């Protein structure tokens, strides 16, 4: 069984947990190791739900903060095990999960072990199935079963943010746009109706689409509407009767789910549109007193989070939440995924200083 040494540095912990494959649906080995490691800590009460581990301090503090991170990754593509590299004089840990988001999890595990008497009570959450459909997400499952565990005054999600605070997140919608035709032999194409050809106006509208930049509580979120997949065709000599274009809409947190769906249908008016997955965004959450204290403690200027993250789940429960973790979001899921060692150290220092300040 994998054993985690929580007395190791957060950099060594990053290497260790990244070298354990935990692609979505295969998180159990890493979840087991985290479970065993944190149960050995007397200052934490531990709860497990599937491959989601929750560990809580209970010091009777007036305020509680949730600090969370997902333990799954996208599929590995020759980038495990990790290795140390240097680019332009800067040291990195390279490999799948280093950015999204095991370096953040490593920092959290290190601090969970060491901070037995923090200034606020802390609920640590390490969860499964973040990288797949929203209905499989470990936090969503936990929120449905144990909403009491989410009670907090503020939440921090360790998503990669270059070691800067990123407030809220865009919403995320996926839809299938279908065009229909009539099958025929391709030698007599005029007898049929080509569904793939009928999809050309869909692609044209998406190519011409200009996304909005939307100010929300002092942060400017950029939207996006894109074709991300297309499928159609029966055989090399058959005119296709169906074509499906998958569309992804990233929408500012000022839009509701209903408004986002209406916008997509308006842009693609005249076509069959089926929304297959949608998750609301989260407003910045920076007006909460604890958020202001945290931002002041770690320094820098808050930025918007363009991608969707699980801060939205906390926001939906009335808990203001921000993203704060090591790693460049542009390298999340990239085959050259790598995290600067200095950022791991900086995020650990920032969290430690804030959580122990008196």
- Mean pLDDT over 263-283 rounds to 96
Helix then strand count (H, E) for the chain reads 10, 19
Give the active site residues.
72, 130
Residue 1 has pLDDT above 80, yes or no: no
Least confident of 89-93, 221-225, 317-321, 338-342: 317-321
- Mean pLDDT over 89-96 rounds to 98
User: What DSSP state is assigned to residue 236?
Assistant: T
Q: What CA–CA distance (Å, rounded) separates 34 from 54?
A: 10
Q: Closest by alpha carbon to 2, among 23, 33, 31, 28?
A: 33
Q: pLDDT of 102-118, one tens digit each?
A: 999 999 999 999 999 99
Tell me what pLDDT residue 134 has. Answer: 79
Tell me what pLDDT residue 54 has. Answer: 98
pLDDT category at 327 given cuts 50, 70, 90 is very high
- Mean pLDDT over 344-355 rounds to 97
Tell me what pLDDT residue 357 has. Answer: 87
What's the gap between Cα 227 and its chain centre? 20
Report whether 14 contacts 344 (CB < 8 A). yes
Tell me what pLDDT residue 133 has. Answer: 81
pLDDT category at 135 given cuts 50, 70, 90 is confident
Tell me what pLDDT residue 300 has. Answer: 76
Report whether 295 contacts 321 (CB < 8 A). no
Q: What CA–CA distance (Å, rounded) separates 302 from 100?
A: 20
- Mean pLDDT over 27-32 rounds to 98
Q: Is 0.75 topped by the overall pTM?
A: yes
Q: What CA–CA distance (Å, rounded) separates 357 from 118?
A: 8
Query: What mean pLDDT value characterizes the chain?
Result: 96
Q: What CA–CA distance (Å, rounded) separates 281 from 309?
A: 8
pLDDT category at 307 given cuts 50, 70, 90 is confident
Q: Closest by alpha carbon to 82, among 90, 92, 94, 65?
A: 94
Residue 181 has pLDDT above 80, yes or no: yes
Residues in the chain: 358
pLDDT category at 287 given cuts 50, 70, 90 is confident
- Mean pLDDT over 317-327 rounds to 95
Residues 6+ apart with CB under 8 A from 274: 175, 176, 178
∠ Cα 72 77 78 (to 5°): 115
Q: pLDDT of 240-257, one tens digit each?
A: 999 999 999 999 999 999
Q: What CA–CA distance (Å, rounded) separates 318 from 233?
A: 47
pLDDT category at 17 given cuts 50, 70, 90 is very high
């Amino acid at each position: 069984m994998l054993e985690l040494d929580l007395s190791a540095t957060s950099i060594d912990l990053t290497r260790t947990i990244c070298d354990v494959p935990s692609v979505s649906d295969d998180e159990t080995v890493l979840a087991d190791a985290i479970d065993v490691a944190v149960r050995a800590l007397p200052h934490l009460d531990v709860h497990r739900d599937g491959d989601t581990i929750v560990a809580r301090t209970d010091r009777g503090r007036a305020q509680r903060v949730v600090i969370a991170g997902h333990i799954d990754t996208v599929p590995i593509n020759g980038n495990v095990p990790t290795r140390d590299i240097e680019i332009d004089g800067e040291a990195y840990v390279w490999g799948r999960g280093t950015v999204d988001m095991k370096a953040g999890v490593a920092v959290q595990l290190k601090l969970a072990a060491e901070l037995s008497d923090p200034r606020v009570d802390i609920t640590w959450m390490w969860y499964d199935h973040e990288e797949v459909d929203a209905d499989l997400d470990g936090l969503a499952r936990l929120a449905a079963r144990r909403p009491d565990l989410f009670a907090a005054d503020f939440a921090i999600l360790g998503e990669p943010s270059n070691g800067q605070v990123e407030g809220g997140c865009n919403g995320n919608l996926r839809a299938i746009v279908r065009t229909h035709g009539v099958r025929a032999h391709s030698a007599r194409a005029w007898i049929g109706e080509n569904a793939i050809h009928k999809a050309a106006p869909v692609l044209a509208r998406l190519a011409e689409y200009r996304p909005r930049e939307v100010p929300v509580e002092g942060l400017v979120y950029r939207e996006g509407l894109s074709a991300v997949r297309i499928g159609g065709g029966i055989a090399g000599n058959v005119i296709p009767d169906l074509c499906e274009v998958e569309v992804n809409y990233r929408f500012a947190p000022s839009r509701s789910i209903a408004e986002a769906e209406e916008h997509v249908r308006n842009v693609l008016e005249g076509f069959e549109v089926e929304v297959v997955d949608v998750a609301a965004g989260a407003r910045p959450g920076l007006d909460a007193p604890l958020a202001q204290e945290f931002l002041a403690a770690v320094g820098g200027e808050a930025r918007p989070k363009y991608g969707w993250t699980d801060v939205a789940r906390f926001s939906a429960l009335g808990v203001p939440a921000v993203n704060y973790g090591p790693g460049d979001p542009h390298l999340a899921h990239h085959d050259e995924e790598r995290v600067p060692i200095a950022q791991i150290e900086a995020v650990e220092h920032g969290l430690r200083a804030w959580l122990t300040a008196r």
